[in-house]
Every structure is written in structure tokens, then in C-alpha cells.
């Protein structure tokens, strides 16, 4: 995690970085509740949470959010090959256009890191 994604203790600052004073409520809940509390729960690994989140966002066609969460999944230990396989599998369960859209997002992430 980069220093602009997480603050000095365990709190996230991604919401603050994205919305700051514009939408302080969503910034607060994103950082303090979603990432500080939900993502830090002991019941699932961050890798598993990433896979679940990628599946949900793909199924809902939320490509903007997938940009962050596919990259985050890679940080959480999911390989590019695993993500390609996940998206192929999801295309059959969540609709081909959603699978294709998510695969395009992943391709752009991978191509951008070359």
C-alpha cells in the first residue's frame, strides 16, 4: 500500500484523498468504516475480500470501481492470471458484457504497468 492510500496508524485515507472537503461524509465512511473496519475484520483474508469485491463489482457492471479494486486485488496477492480466470468465469455468471468490460479494465491496468 502506498502512503497516500493508508495513514500513519491503520486508517485509510483514500476517501479523504478522493473527496476531501467536497463530500466529507462519504470520505469518512469510506475510510473509517469500509476500509478501517470491514476490510480489517478477521473472518476473511484481504485476498478473499478482494476476489469477492471484484466478483460483485463485475456482476453489477461497476467498471469505475473495478479500476481501484482490480489493482487492490493485485496488491492483496491475486495474480494477473488468476484475475483473468476470475473474469472469464464471471462472464458466464454475470453477463458477457460485464465480463468483457472488467477484462478491458484489467488489461488497461496490466498494460499501464509495463
CATH number of the domain residue 97 falls in? 1.20.1290.10
What is the C-alpha to C-alpha distance for residues 79 and 85, in angstroms, rounded to an integer? 10
- For residue 61, give its domain range: 46-112
Q: What is the pLDDT of residues 55-89, one digit of tens each?
A: 999 999 999 999 999 999 999 999 999 999 999 99
Supply the pLDDT for residue 114.
64
43 backbone dihedrals φ, ψ, rounded to 5°: -65, -25
Residue 77 carries which DSSP code?
A: T
Q: Is the dihedral of CA 52, 61, 27, 9 positive or negative?
A: positive
The model's pTM is 0.85
Whether 6 contacts 31, CB under 8 Å? no
8 and 28 part of one domain: yes
> Distance (Å, rounded) from C-alpha 82 to C-alpha 44?
18
10 or 80, greater pLDDT: 80
> Coil, strand or helix: which one is 25?
helix
Whether residue 37 is found in the same domain as residue 79: no
Amino acid at each position: 500500500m502506498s502512503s497516500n492510500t493508508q495513514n500513519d496508524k491503520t486508517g485509510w485515507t483514500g476517501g479523504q484523498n478522493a473527496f476531501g472537503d467536497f463530500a466529507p461524509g462519504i470520505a469518512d465512511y469510506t475510510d473509517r468504516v469500509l476500509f478501517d473496519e470491514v476490510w480489517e475484520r478477521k473472518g476473511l483474508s484481504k485476498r478473499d475480500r478482494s476476489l469477492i469485491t471484484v466478483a460483485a463489482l463485475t456482476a453489477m457492471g461497476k467498471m469505475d470501481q473495478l479500476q481501484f479494486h482490480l489493482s487492490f486485488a493485485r496488491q492483496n496477492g491475486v495474480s494477473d492470471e488468476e484475475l483473468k480466470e476470475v473474469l472469464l468465469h464471471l462472464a458466464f455468471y454475470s453477463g458477457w458484457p460485464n465480463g468483457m468490460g472488467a477484462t478491458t479494465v484489467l488489461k488497461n491496468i496490466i498494460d499501464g504497468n509495463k
